[in-house]
Amino acid sequence: MSDTGIGKSVKRREDLRFITGRGRYTDDVNRPNQVYAVFLRSPYPRARIVSIDASGADEVAGVIGVFTGKDLSADKIGDLPCGWMVKSKDGSDMKIAPHPPLAVEVVNYVGEPYGIVVAESLAAARDGAEVVATEFEELTPTVSVANATAGAQLHTNVPDNVCYLWELGDADATNAAFAAAAHVTKLTFSNNRLIPNAMEPRAAVASFDAATEEFTLVTTSQNPHLERLILSAFVQLAPEHKLRVIAPDVGGGFGSKIFVYAEETAVAWAARRVGRPVKWTADRSESFLADAHGRDHLTTAELALDGDGLFQGLRVRTRANLGAYLSTFASSVPTYLYGTLLAGQYRTPAIHVEVEGVYTNTAPVDAYRGAGRPEATYVVERLVETAARELKVDPAALRRRNFIAPDQFPYQTPVALEYDTGNYEASLAAALEKSDYANFAARKAASEQRGKRRGIGFSCYIEACGLAPSQLAIQLGAGVGLYESGEVRVNPTGNVTVFTGSHSHGQGHETTFAQVVSDKLGIPFENVEVVHGDTGRVEFGLGTYGSRSIAVGGSALVKATDKIIAKGKRIAAHMMDTNADSVDFSDGEFAARDSNQKLTFGEVAFAAYVPSNYPSSEEPGLSEKAFYDPKNFTFPAGTHIAEVEIDPETGVVDVVNFVAVDDFGRVINPMIVEGQVHGGIAQGIGQALLEHGIYDDGGQLITGSYMDYCMPRADDLPSFDVDMTVTPCTHNPLGVKGCGEAGAIGAPAAIMNAVTDALGVVDLPMPATPERVWRAARG
């Protein structure tokens, strides 16, 4: 086996450009003759736009034009759509609020764009925006999720601000389980609103070629083809074949760059309007105000147990804040990505969940790393830990008693999913060992001697990755398929260009996908180039989100590679005067079984493009495409154990140990996978201890900068102890599951279970800030 093949920690090839300053992010792109855009944004959470007087801006030197929502409407630019139609429990469609890219009559959150100023320089655009005089008539806002249904109505077509009331599971069976329960554990808590904060702010550079009527939009997207599809089919900016979307190096996404936003839409429109390339880059304040936020649930959850501590029923009532408008996938996150995960790793036979999705005068809320699954894990794992404490049972033992056993797979849960495989006991056992759980009591006693309080917390999470299959998802309301495309193009000299519809914005696909293809073809890793992020070069793709890239995008490449090998065998058979069934392919060589003849991969590739000794039934060339539509989700799972020490004098929580043992199925590049886990854990600890997107009662975002929103910094975090167990996925060719979100899913519950253990309290809201912890410690 080569040292660059599947399973090897190959150093990333993309690193050389990033560590030398040669990365090329959207803001690094400049077009000849370009102009600059600045957005007019609402200072109010809810207001009617009475008038916009741009005459002052027109007098600022360098200002080319001020455009508003009315200008876009006049050009028949359509609304920003939501891509998932969720139905309420009564069968009615969710209520979709109109969402023009630039607000026309009413603004509904602070920071909502309602105009765009285009100028020769960024400074001129800013100066122009300063002097646009907009008269607003303030309206009463509805800000808090708790009061959403009783507050002022945002949208005329949405009574009580309820977008949908969705349910999943068997309500009668669940109620019966509670009626017969020996013990019920009940918790009410919020899942705090988060602001994604990819380090690269969103940006767009759009140009329009009047001769060909083609747009080129360079933008910070996790899924450029989806962006093109939506801008064409729904927004009606341009026909799909006249629109090229390029997502070059993208500086992190975490979900926030999946969505099609107002800004890139308006920038592209403006490029045609002013006849020059237009560039916009968000400043961080804009990112805080206008990137889609994450989480923001209020939940009451109950777990019914019988006399043996076996889980009998789970009842969950959640109100999910969707913000002022439905962002691209907002409706699916607190429903199909949340309710379906509530079985966790357990055999709970009856589950019922009801989710009320509500509009408020806050920024739209959509997928953020984990997207629904961290919220589900938090519900299940906080309940289970609390039940163990109430019953005075060891929390590991209670979990073990209820785990789905390895011989019970495939396992049909009561909330729609069928888990293909797993071994929850194995990851729990490994995590207990690594965390030295056996000696926790001694460590706790030692902490107490020093006046500190020590706690330990578990989180046995499950996630569903590689959302699938398309047909089922579309039946459930998805507006797009959930497959991925791949193309393996063998060049005449035998090196290979791989095109994938997945998009890398930190995940290292240029390395891992090259490992997969070079391993399968038995050719040097250096001979495989991976191309992604450009609708002009890659046929189609659905991009990267939900930890889907290797499971879905990687599988598409395996399919395409298999086609290459099959055609190669037919060509080689002709050249070696045998038939294709008698040709073996391994380690980059085609060998005739019935003779000692061999051909290298390069020789066959060359023959395909210089077809002299060549089968008449074959087309020349050696390039194959494939679409892979998964048969099922993949189900990564694992155990995270957090140990914290709290100083009751200051309320500071010190995470003294964090163990993660994850089962991602087969791993392509362990180094990269561990890095993904580290980053996810950091975001999970951030949610539990530091981060909170807060609007005040008046609807102003009061955590709108890095001075106010508490991002995890190097000195807030420990090093992590990460390990893996492996049960290969049963239904994709690589046996892979995906690893991008596990840390963010598992960590919050582990940390909060540890914090509440240390403090001896039932619950504490996230984030467990020093003030909250200090107050709780004082009792």
Partner 1 sequence: MKVSLTVNGRRHDVDVAPNTLLVDVLRGRLGLTGTHVGCDTSQCGACTVHLDGRSVKSCTVLAAQVDGAAVTTIEGIGSPDALHPMQAAFRDCHALQCGFCTPGMIMSAIDLVQNVENLDERKVREGLEGNLCRCTGYHNIVKAVLNAAESM
Q: Which residues bind partner 1 (CB under 8 A)?
A: 11-12, 14-25, 27-28, 123, 197-201, 249-252, 254, 281, 283-285, 505-508, 671-672, 674-676, 678-683, 705-707, 711-715, 717, 719-720, 743
Residue 255 corresponds to which amino acid?
Answer: G
Nearest approach, Cβ of 126 to partner 1 (angstroms)?
A: 12
Our CB check for partner 1 shows the closer of 429 and 717 to be: 717
Q: At what angle do helices 555-575 and 509-521 cross, to 10 degrees?
A: 30
Our CB check for partner 1 shows the closer of 55 and 705 to be: 705
Tokens of 548: 């889907």
Nearest approach, Cβ of 57 to partner 1 (angstroms)?
A: 20
Our CB check for partner 1 shows the closer of 302 and 645 to be: 645
Q: What is the DSSP string of 618-667?
A: SPS--EEEEEE--SS-B--EEEEEEEEEEETTTTEEEEEEEEEEEE-BS-
Length of the chain as a residue count: 779
Nearest approach, Cβ of 504 to partner 1 (angstroms)?
A: 9
Nearest to 291 by CA among 127, 113, 146, 154: 113
- Tell me how far the alpha carbon of residue 687 is from its chain's centroid: 15
Looking up tokens 């600022």, which residue turns up?
A: 60
Instruction: Give how far Cα 157 sits from Cα of 32, 162, 163, 501, Å.
Output: 45, 10, 10, 37
Instruction: Give how far Cα 448 sits from Cα of 452, 647, 651, 744, 750, Å.
Output: 5, 10, 15, 30, 21
Query: What 8-state DSSP symbol labels residue 159?
Result: G
CB atoms within 10 A of CB 178: 17
Our CB check for partner 1 shows the closer of 471 and 705 to be: 705
Nearest approach, Cβ of 265 to partner 1 (angstroms)?
A: 23
Q: How far apart are CA 765 and CA 778, in angstroms?
A: 16
Q: Is 52 helix (H, G, I), strand (E, B) or coil?
A: strand
Nearest approach, Cβ of 675 to partner 1 (angstroms)?
A: 5
Nearest approach, Cβ of 286 to partner 1 (angstroms)?
A: 9
Q: Is 264 helix (H, G, I), strand (E, B) or coil?
A: helix
Q: How far apart are CA 238 and CA 223, in angstroms?
A: 18
Our CB check for partner 1 shows the closer of 400 and 678 to be: 678
Strands (E), 260-340: 278-281, 297-305, 311-323
Nearest approach, Cβ of 500 to partner 1 (angstroms)?
A: 17
Our CB check for partner 1 shows the closer of 257 and 273 to be: 257
Nearest approach, Cβ of 534 to partner 1 (angstroms)?
A: 18
| Backbone φ, ψ for residue 580 (5° rounding) | -60, -30
Our CB check for partner 1 shows the closer of 222 and 725 to be: 222
Our CB check for partner 1 shows the closer of 681 and 752 to be: 681
Our CB check for partner 1 shows the closer of 511 and 623 to be: 511
Nearest approach, Cβ of 14 to partner 1 (angstroms)?
A: 7
Residue 704 corresponds to which amino acid?
Answer: G
Burial 417-443 (b: 16+ CB within 10 A, else e): bebbbbbbbbbbbbbbebbebeebeeb
Nearest approach, Cβ of 161 to partner 1 (angstroms)?
A: 32
CB atoms within 10 A of CB 50: 10
Helix (H) or strand (E) holding 604: helix 601-609
Nearest approach, Cβ of 20 to partner 1 (angstroms)?
A: 6
Q: How far apart are CA 29 and CA 32, in angstroms?
A: 10
Q: How far apart are CA 40 and CA 103, in angstroms?
A: 10
Nearest approach, Cβ of 609 to partner 1 (angstroms)?
A: 31
Our CB check for partner 1 shows the closer of 24 and 537 to be: 24
Q: How far apart are CA 340 and CA 463, in angstroms?
A: 10
Nearest approach, Cβ of 706 to partner 1 (angstroms)?
A: 4
Our CB check for partner 1 shows the closer of 28 and 763 to be: 28
Nearest approach, Cβ of 252 to partner 1 (angstroms)?
A: 4
Nearest approach, Cβ of 282 to partner 1 (angstroms)?
A: 10
Our CB check for partner 1 shows the closer of 25 and 419 to be: 25
Our CB check for partner 1 shows the closer of 281 and 549 to be: 281
Our CB check for partner 1 shows the closer of 20 and 475 to be: 20
Q: How far apart are CA 304 and CA 179, in angstroms?
A: 9
Instruction: Give how far Cα 662 sits from Cα of 382, 459, 630, 707, Å.
Output: 19, 11, 22, 34
Nearest approach, Cβ of 118 to partner 1 (angstroms)?
A: 18
Q: Are 365 and 296 in contact (CB under 8 A)?
A: yes
CB atoms within 10 A of CB 181: 18
| Backbone φ, ψ for residue 151 (5° rounding) | -85, 180
Our CB check for partner 1 shows the closer of 508 and 651 to be: 508
Our CB check for partner 1 shows the closer of 189 and 288 to be: 288
**Bridging pattern class, strands 350-359 and 162-169:** antiparallel
Phi-psi region of 577 (alpha: psi -120 to 50; beta: other; left: phi over 0): left
Nearest to 724 by CA among 482, 431, 470: 431
Our CB check for partner 1 shows the closer of 525 and 635 to be: 525
Q: At what angle do helices 373-391 and 742-759 cross, to 10 degrees?
A: 30
What is the layout of strands, in order, in the sheet containing 106-107? 106-107, 47-53, 133-138
Nearest approach, Cβ of 246 to partner 1 (angstroms)?
A: 16
